[in-house]
Amino acid sequence: MDHGRSPGHRAGLTHAAVLSAARELLAEHGIAGLTMRMLAARLDVAPNALYSHVASKTALVDALLDDVLGEVAVLTPSVENPALGLHQLMTSTYDVLVGHADLVPLYLSRQGAHGPNALRLGEVTLDLLRRAGVPEPTASDALRVLIVYTIGFAAFTRHLPATGGSERRPSAAEMQSSFEHGLGWLLAGISDDHPDAQSHLRFASETEPKRPARK
């Protein structure tokens, strides 16, 4: 008999399985339907078994949000152009958020994610900003602005039609284009108070390749 494992591990659960089932429940029933009891029923385990993997519903939501950020494409630390790296990192983050539209309100209510993936992305972003010539504390403030900008755009886009927008209600494809243009302006604005950063960050809008519109 194995006395060294917790009930959740004895039930054969994995952290990944818990998050997968939680994401299914969230998509089907919304945040109100994501309860520890319903999650246990979905996994066919006793509710207590879940606490070997998540301490509470709040911890579960935080883990879900951070898990999704693992899909964001991160360039290698040696990328030569930090402005291009920032542009691609933020557009990948936007794409991932829009691809998980049901989670976007949770990113808003939780003010982002707080797990290891979020920390890793934050460090990568700060490193790119510093390499572009943006010193502290401006770099940390810029990181916060970029996160809010990206989550806000994703929240605005989540209920829009893919194509065929109007003047009052743009399509998701049009919002994608607006996001990328705005990101270039934002990066250029971040550089305004730091002459060493201007040539690096203003270069982003000139070098970023055009992406096909989201279908």
Count: domains in the chain: 2
Cβ pair 111, 73 in contact under 8 A: no
Give yes or no for a contact between 190 and 197, defined as CB atoms under 8 angstroms apart: yes
Residue 62 lies in a domain: no
Percent of residues, the chain, with pLDDT higher than 70:
81
Same domain, 44 and 101: no
What is the average per-residue pLDDT within 41-48?
A: 93
pTM: 0.81
**Judgement on whether residues 77 and 160 belong to the same structural domain of the protein:** yes
Q: Is residue 120 part of a domain?
A: yes
170 inside domain? yes
Q: Are 104 and 158 in contact, with CB atoms under 8 Å apart?
A: yes
Rounded to an integer, the average pLDDT of 130-154 is: 93
Question: pLDDT higher for 193 or 101?
Answer: 101
**What is the mean predicted confidence (pLDDT) over 126-142?**
91
pLDDT > 80? residue 204 = no
* Peptide bond between residue 137 and the one before it cis (omega within 30 degrees of 0): yes
34 and 117 together in one domain: no
Q: Which two tokens stand for residue 137?
A: 């504390």
